[in-house]
């Protein structure tokens, strides 16, 4: 596993003995794991393993029945403004009349307050920088509905980054993306690594990007989350992971608290 560039012993978020059920259907049971500030973490797992539930809990869109979740020392609801979120497949109206720049500027909104964060010179500078970073500067006036699937995904990443988040959460960001779009996305994420904590969720349980510092596997054991070790992959198409891929070693189980003990 690569050494975290800027990881400190401070945690970005922590799940402590969290359980969650939808009615009678238990999704997560006694889940504990954490990610440090500046780390690039991957949450992997098969469909239905509870990955999206972890994200909804992290974003404060769902409430855990048991256990405690902290994000930068606060409750998920209080920390929302620090999180940038890229949803998996949002159900968006394909005929919604909106331009790329308007979609990206939604990331600057904060509650029901007047959106001075968008209209100020500083706000416009941030949006311009994000559009450059995500290579969308030429598409700002295009209708969102006219974009390809890969371009739309990049717009949603830009929208999340427009919030200048401390934690960026991406749910299956490369699903249905072509190789070129995927490479562009990972190039963007590489630029963020170290400064922004990144949690990327994927159903690819075999390999993760070489940017990854920590791999967590949902659905492992009894509806829990397990931290796995990785090693450089030898026979994988690197363009699918934005560079060299890492193979996830499912037969390993790393001590989730070891990093904190070492830091002490």
Which residues bind to other proteins, rule: CB under 8 A?
A: 59-61, 80-81, 83, 85, 87, 90, 92-93, 95-99, 102-103, 105-107, 109-112, 114-115, 118, 143, 159, 163
Task: Between 6 and 99, name the residue whose CB sits nearer to other proteins.
Answer: 99
Q: Based on CB atoms, which residue is closest to other proteins, 95 or 121? A: 95
Single out the residue of 196, 151, 173, 155 nearest to residue 242, CA to CA. Answer: 173
Nearer to other proteins, 94 or 261 (CB): 94
The answer to whether 31 and 224 are in contact (CB under 8 A) is yes
- Residue 190 CB, shortest distance to other proteins, in Å, is 24
DSSP code at position 74: B
Spell out a b/e string for 104-132, using b for 16 or more CB atoms within 10 Å of the CB, else e: bbebbeeeeeeeebbeeeebeebbeebbe
Instruction: Count the neighbouring beta carbons within 10 Å of the beta carbon of residue 224.
Output: 18
Nearer to other proteins, 66 or 102 (CB): 102
CB neighbours (10 Å) of residue 185? 24
Q: Is the dihedral of CA 95, 97, 103, 109 positive or negative?
A: negative
To other proteins, the closest distance from the beta carbon of 16 in angstroms equals 22
Nearest to other proteins of 64, 163 (CB atom): 163
- Minimal distance in Å, beta carbon 167 to other proteins? 11
239's tokens: 């363009």
Count the neighbouring beta carbons within 10 Å of the beta carbon of residue 215: 24
Nearest to 88 by CA among 203, 226, 191: 203
C-beta of 250: minimal distance to other proteins in Å? 31
Q: How far is the CB of 244 from other proteins (least distance, A)?
A: 32
Residue count (the chain): 264
Q: For other proteins, which is the closer residue by CB, 65 or 116?
A: 116
Write down the least CB distance from residue 226 to other proteins, Å. 27
Record the tokens describing residue 7, joined without a space.
Answer: 């990881």
């Amino acid at each position: 596993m690569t050494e975290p560039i800027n990881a400190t012993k401070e945690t970005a978020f922590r799940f402590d003995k969290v359980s969650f059920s939808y009615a009678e259907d238990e999704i997560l049971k006694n889940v504990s794991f954490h990610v440090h500030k500046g780390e690039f973490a991957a949450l992997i797992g098969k469909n239905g393993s509870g990955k999206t539930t972890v994200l909804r809990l992290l974003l404060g869109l769902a409430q855990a029945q048991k256990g405690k979740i902290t994000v930068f020392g606060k409750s998920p609801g209080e920390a929302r403004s620090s999180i940038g979120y890229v949803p998996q497949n949002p159900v968006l109206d394909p005929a919604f009349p909106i331009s790329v720049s308007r979609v990206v500027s939604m990331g600057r909104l904060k509650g029901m307050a007047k959106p001075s964060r968008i209209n100020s010179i500083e706000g416009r500078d941030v949006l311009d920088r994000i559009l450059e970073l995500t290579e969308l500067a030429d598409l700002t006036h295009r209708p969102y509905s006219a974009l390809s699937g890969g371009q739309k995904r990049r717009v949603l990443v830009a929208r999340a980054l427009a919030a200048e988040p401390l934690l960026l959460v991406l749910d299956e960001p490369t699903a249905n993306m072509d190789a070129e779009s995927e490479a562009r996305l990972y190039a963007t994420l590489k630029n963020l690594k170290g400064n922004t904590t990144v949690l990327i969720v994927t159903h690819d349980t075999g390999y993760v990007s070489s940017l990854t510092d920590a791999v967590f596997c949902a659905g492992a054991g009894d509806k829990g989350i397990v931290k796995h070790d990785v090693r450089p992959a030898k026979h994988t198409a690197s363009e699918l992971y934005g560079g060299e891929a890492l193979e996830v070693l499912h037969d390993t189980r790393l001590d989730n608290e070891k990093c904190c003990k070492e830091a002490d």
